[in-house]
Amino acid sequence: MEITTHKTTEQIKTEFQTIFPNLKIEFYRKKHETYQGSKDELKINQDMELEKLNPMLLNGEIDIDSEMTVAELENAFENKFGLHIQVYRKSGEQWMQTSITDHWTLAKQEMKSEDLDHFYSD
């Protein structure tokens, strides 16, 4: 995924969800620790250019692989770009922070959500 100063939070969220339809990312003002959730009051609720979140942002890439863990993805955004994200997994009709399953791969998170979707649709 290409990260540039003029891309917006919504563009990044959409690109991510194109790859993982049952997962989403949200941007936050501050970092959270692995296995910890992010506070709602710190969520970035409006669409904004990434350089407004981090004026020191340099253009670059994040190689998102289905076998990377949630923690690896969140750390990559933090370490490479100074952007604070939280991954969410769809659970039925709700979106849940993946904080206690940060060690799961993105593929496993996606699969878990699909399993729950089948459970709720039966």
pTM score over 0.85: yes
List the pLDDT tens digit at each of the 122 positions of the chain: 999 999 999 999 999 999 999 999 999 998 877 777 888 999 999 999 999 999 999 999 999 999 999 999 999 999 999 999 999 999 888 999 998 999 999 999 999 887 655 444 44
DSSP 12-69: HHHHHHHH-TTEEEEEESS---TT-PPPGGGB--S--BHHHH-TT---EE----TTSB
115 burial type by CB count under 10 A (0-12 exposed, 13-18 middle, 19+ buried): exposed
- pLDDT score, position 116: 53
Cβ–Cβ < 8 Å for 102, 71:
yes
Q: Among all chains, which residue has been given the structure tokens 């959500």?
A: 113
- pLDDT score, position 91: 87
Q: What is the token pair recorded at 61? A: 């890439």
Q: Where are the domains of the chain?
A: 2-121
Cβ–Cβ < 8 Å for 20, 110:
yes
